[in-house]
Amino acid sequence: MTDTVSNGATTKPQIPEGNVVTCLDKGFVRLVDYMGSDAAIVQAARVSYGAGTKKVSEDRGLIRYLMRHAHTTPFEMVEFKFHVKLPIFVARQWIRHRTANVNEYSGRYSVMPEEFYVPDAAQIRPQSATNKQGRAEETFSNAEAASIQALLQDGQQRAYNDYEKLLGDNFARELARINLPVSQYTEWYWKIDLHNLFHFLRLRIDAHAQYEIRVYADAMAQMVREIVPMAFEAFEDYTLNAVRLTKPELQAMKRLLAATDISLLTDEALSECGLSKREMEEFRGKLRTMQP
């Protein structure tokens, strides 16, 4: 989806049809609004208001150059606002990304809803033996999973019954909520610029991220891709699916390249890998810095 130009003015495309995605058992992500698009990134980078004066291919090349060289400011010209319903424990992870504007449902002003997250059987897993903060790949038996689900639901129900009793006794809402579990659902509006959203997605789409927050990140990524397809493509190529080398790793690469003739990397071979002419020059420059 791209902006269209009419009489020199940029027309904002409509929010995509799939702007609401169900997440987990009772949650969702909804794209409420957004400002800007690929055209806004290009406009900011050129510090120009000449919309439509460049070819689409040139816009794509510029966006990819900006992403590749970490020129992040133009991406901050695009913003997204989401309405999210999520378990509180997911929200506590999410809020660590302190680069967004957030307004959350308040248990001081309103009664907390009787909605709790219960993992499905496929996610009922033992503790990982190799990852202290994650679950194992194997699952429990169906009977064991059902027993664990029942235990979770029983605890949630008892906690909510106590909460309702305290409210019925005219106990203050702001204190009555304190025994409710972090599996309870909350809602918030979350607004963020594209640069910081890409940072969030890079961390939360990753396979090492907790499954429950990854579900939300995947849903948001699909919505963002619809609005800024060129920027998202660059994000995938240069950030999401890229790797960073440490200084010791670079030393190891130098040893490897000492026995390699980089002239064998012809333009044709590099083009087959998806590199543009400019990227070929940059890549060969990087290789030369690694040679002894």
Q: What is the pLDDT of residues 175-212, one digit of tens each?
A: 999 999 999 999 999 999 999 999 999 999 999 999 99
The Cα 267–Cα 262 span in angstroms is: 11
- Main-chain phi, psi angles of 189, to 5 degrees: -100, 135
Strands, E assignment, 8-71: 9-11, 20-23, 27-35
**Alpha-carbon Rg of the chain, whole angstroms?**
24
Asked if residues 93 and 207 have their Cβ atoms less than 8 Å apart, the reply is no
Helical H segments across 169-262, by residue range:
173-176, 194-204, 211-227, 229-235, 247-258
Using CB atoms within 10 A of its CB, is residue 28 exposed (0-12), middle (13-18) or buried (19+)? middle
pLDDT in tens, 121-171: 999 999 999 888 899 999 999 999 999 999 999 999 999 999 999 999 999
The Cα 85–Cα 215 span in angstroms is: 12
| Sheet order of strands, 185-193 included | 20-23, 27-35, 79-87, 185-193, 101-104
Asked if residues 227 and 37 have their Cβ atoms less than 8 Å apart, the reply is yes
Catalytic pick among 64, 125, 204, 214? 204
pLDDT in tens, 66-90: 999 999 999 999 999 999 999 999 9
204 as an active site residue: the answer is: yes
Evaluate if residue 8 carries a pLDDT over 80.
Answer: no
Confidence band for 4, pLDDT divided at 50, 70 and 90: very low
Question: What is the amino acid identity at position 55?
Answer: K
Q: What number of H helices and E strands is found in the chain?
A: 11, 7
Placement of tokens 């992403």 in the chain? 67
Cβ count within 10 A of residue 198: 24
Arithmetic mean of pLDDT over the chain: 90
